[in-house]
Amino acid sequence: MSELSKFNPTGRFTGRAEAYARYRPGYPSEALEYILTHCGLGSESLLVDVGCGTGISSRLFAALGVNVVGIEPNGEMRATAEARMCGEGGRRLTYREGRAECTGLPAAVADAVLAAQAFHWFEPDAALREFHRILKPGGWAILMWNERDDQDPFTRAYSRLMLWARDAVSAGSTWDGQAGNVLLVSPLFREGQRVSYGNNQTLDEEGLLGRAFSVSYAPTEASEAAKWAEGLKAIFTEHQRDGKVVLRYQTSVYLGRRSLS
């Protein structure tokens, strides 16, 4: 058993798909446009979104005119993504079962491979080898995260409260803010860089509770969940303005181009 497997990365979001889809933040348009321009992606390009979850990032790129295949091992998350396909972007989207380490896709099929808010749940070396395999020569690997900006007082209060959850510390050990660096130093990729953009999520009280309970380590035992909810309501009351609070993030994007060998 690998060190990562004990955290059950495939199954731990079961039962949370609807909350994840409704309450997780998207990604700033500046970050998406930078990726499109830097990686040369357009209407003829294929982006493979690995660990796509409920399709938040998949839909955003499809809406910008890129063809997207979402890879997701959790059936509930994948079904939620499929249920939300709509409009023009939906015609550019398909979803299929697979894992980061074994996508099931042919070699050299993708112009770009994306992992948004997901790479820290993968076996990093095996995943990068699979990204390299399915990328066309010169294609791009992209890792992206919304990271809470604890310089902001409300966001800092929210982050502290999240640590009340029994499983928060162990789950958090899979993500330490450095997971993207493995791409920058991998010999499988070149021209590595990291860029960052501000991102905000405005929430009412219901939205704040939904956002908190969408995390994989949110308490499920009734008394513990009730205590957590009361804490969330308390910080909402303290920090709200006109019935809203703002969670502030920095969206970090790591890019690397497939080496030719």
Rounded distance, CA 237 to CA 48, Å? 41
**Phi (first) and psi of residue 196, to 5 degrees:** -140, 145
Out of 9-13, 122-126, 210-214, 216-220, least confident range: 9-13
Higher pLDDT, 75 or 16: 75
Q: How far apart are CA 213 and CA 215, in angstroms?
A: 5
Give the mean pLDDT of 24-52.
97
- The answer, yes or no, to whether residue 33 has pLDDT greater than 70, is yes
What pLDDT is attached to residue 5? 47
Nearest-angstrom CA–CA distance, 149 and 177: 12
Grade residue 4 by pLDDT with cuts at 50, 70 and 90. very low
Amino acid residing at 219: P
Note the pLDDT of residue 176.
59
CATH 3.40.50.10490 fits 4-147+174-200+250-258, yes or no: no
The pLDDT tens digits for 81-93 are 999 887 656 789 9
Mean pLDDT of 95-122: 97
Q: Give the mean pLDDT of the chain.
A: 90
Domain boundaries, the chain: 4-147+174-200+250-258
For residue 260, give Cα distances in angstroms to 18, 140, 143, 145, 187: 41, 12, 20, 27, 10
Give me the pLDDT at residue 90, please. 73
* 219 band by pLDDT with thresholds 50, 70 and 90: confident
Report whether 27 contacts 199 (CB < 8 A): yes
| pLDDT grade for 208, boundaries at 50, 70 and 90 | very high
Residue 164 has pLDDT above 80, yes or no: no
